Structures are given as C-alpha cells and as structure tokens.
Amino acid sequence: MSLQKETPRLERAEGTARVAFALRTVGGRQETRLADLFQDGSAKVRLPRVYDGSGPAAVFLNSAGGVTGGDHLSFEAHFKAGATATVTTQAAERIYRRVEGVGRIDNRLVVEAGANARWLPQETIVFDGAGLCRRLDADLVGDARLVAVESIVLGRTAMGEEVTAVDLADHWRIRRDGRLVYADALRLSGDSRAILSGSATGGGARAFAGMVVAAPDAASRLDHVRELIATLVGDGLEAGASAFDGLLSIRCLALDGRRLRAIVEPLIETLTGWPLPRAWSI
C-alpha cells in the first residue's frame, strides 16, 4: 500500500477596500471630504494630508505584501457629484510566481456629474511565473472627468530579471451614462521576451503603460500632449496619443521601469494639472 502525500492547501490573501468622496460645506465654502470608508482583509486605505490644493487623496495598499495565484483583491472609489480627489497606491504592487491559479485584482470607479477623479496607482511589477487577471471598470455620469493610468513592469529590470513565463490579462471598461465608450484588453501568456520582441508587439519593451482622460474637452488636449511626448521619447522609450469620443488615450512602451516613469510622471502632472501624489516619491 502506497501513501501519496497531499499537496498542502496554501492560505490565500483576500481583501476589499472602498472609499467615497463628497462635497461638504465647510466654513461657508464647499470642499471635498471623505464620505465613506470600508476595509477588510489585506486591502487597506490610508488618508494622508494633502497641502497642495489638489483635493484629498486615498492611498490603497495590500498588507499581504504582494499577489500570487488564488489571491483576490477588490478596490472601489466613489466620487460623488462635484467632488475632486485622487486615488493612488502606497507602492508598486508585486505579482509573484504562483503554484497554481492566477491572482485577481478588481478595481471599480464611480464618478458622478461634475466630479473630477484621478486614478493614479503606481506600477505593477510582474515576476517570472506569475499569473494575474486585473480589471478596471469606471462608470461616469454626465460631465464627469477622469484621468486614469495603469503601468506594468515585467520583472525588476534594474536587477536583470527576465520574465520567461507569465499569464497576464488586463481589462479596461469605461462607460458614460451607461454607454460603453472605452474598452481595452491586454493578454500576455507565455514567454514575454519572445512575445514583445516583434516590432508590431512591443519592440523589446519590458515595461508599458496606458493612460486615459475621459472628459468632454479631452480631444482639445491632444496636440499639447503630443508635443510633450515628442520631448520625452528617445532611446528605449516610445509613446503615442489619440483622441476620440470624449477620450484621450496614451500608450507608452519602455525598455525598463525607470524609463517608463520618466514619461508617465510628467504626463500625469500635465493631465491633472497637479504634482504627483506624495506616495510616488516615498
């Protein structure tokens, strides 16, 4: 009689965090203030003081220290009518090698009429052997404004790491008044070096970012953004911008995470009109 060892069932990280911002009358004037906060499991929220006049900020973080197969995190931000606020992350999220399955990150934004929302998480670093399914759903109402960015870096490029096996799916869905206005899907499965080596697929990039401005006047900013991009691109860095249907879309490709930040950071400051969240420099 042979005894077969059972594979141990590993504990998985789960967490949910939600914040909401709303206009409040303070001292005879209207200011954006925190209206609701919920956190559970490894998903946490921090609320740093903001002194630059850009409005309040919420910082999401994952106290588990990273994501691997079977983990599930859910983050939500609600910007009520007329509110202005920023949501970012404490640090780069790390997606580690998994034993089985994929990690899931679900992000949801609700931006009501007249609100100005900034979704500015720091980059996601994907390690060799990792699996991730991530989704961003944004529901906008009326003339709501949104600036959103998501960046992915394949391995710690400064340490010479290569990602030879990965299963990555990243989905964006933006709706305005219930109508789908932006849909984007990325699927990277297999050897990322080989997949991204072609001139039509990445040109050897190891880091990339997508940025979207959803606003009634988004198209009017296209020329200025293209002029800025022209001053930033160079060795190991490419980017392009287009505008359509009340949207401004920007894509960036870089050979490493350092180069990617060199273009993403000034673009964020230009698009929002404010300095980067302090968490980006800590």
DSSP labels, 216-235: TTGGGGHHHHHHHHHHH-BT
User: What mean pLDDT is predicted for residues 131-141?
Assistant: 98
- On average, the pLDDT of the chain sits at 94
User: What mean pLDDT is predicted for residues 97-115?
Assistant: 96
Q: What is the pLDDT of residue 159?
A: 75
Per-position DSSP letters for 125-165, written without gaps between them: EE-TTBEEEEEEEEEE-TT-EEEEEEEEEES-GGGT----S
* Helix, coil or strand: residue 261: helix
Residue 69 sits at φ, ψ, to 5 deg, of -55, 130
pLDDT category of residue 8 using cuts at 50, 70 and 90: low
Q: What is the pLDDT of residue 211?
A: 98
Both tokens of 63, joined, read: 């106290």
**4: pLDDT strictly greater than 90:** no
Partners of residue 190 on adjacent β-strands:
166
Global pTM value: 0.94
Query: In what helix (H) or strand (E) does residue 44 lie, and over which residues does it extend?
Result: strand 43-46
Lowest-pLDDT range of 8-17, 33-42, 93-102, 140-149: 8-17
**2: pLDDT strictly greater than 70:** no
**26: pLDDT strictly greater than 90:** no
Whole-number percent of the chain with pLDDT over 70? 96
Both tokens of 141, joined, read: 């109402």
Both tokens of 169, joined, read: 């799916």
Q: What is the pLDDT of residue 10?
A: 66
**7: pLDDT strictly greater than 60:** no
DSSP structure class, residue 185: E
Q: What is the pLDDT of residue 261?
A: 96
Pairing of strands 166-176, 145-154: unpaired
The string of pLDDT tens digits covering residues 163-195 is: 899 999 999 999 999 999 999 999 999 999 899
Type of residue numbered 181: V
DSSP structure class, residue 67: B
pLDDT category of residue 254 using cuts at 50, 70 and 90: very high
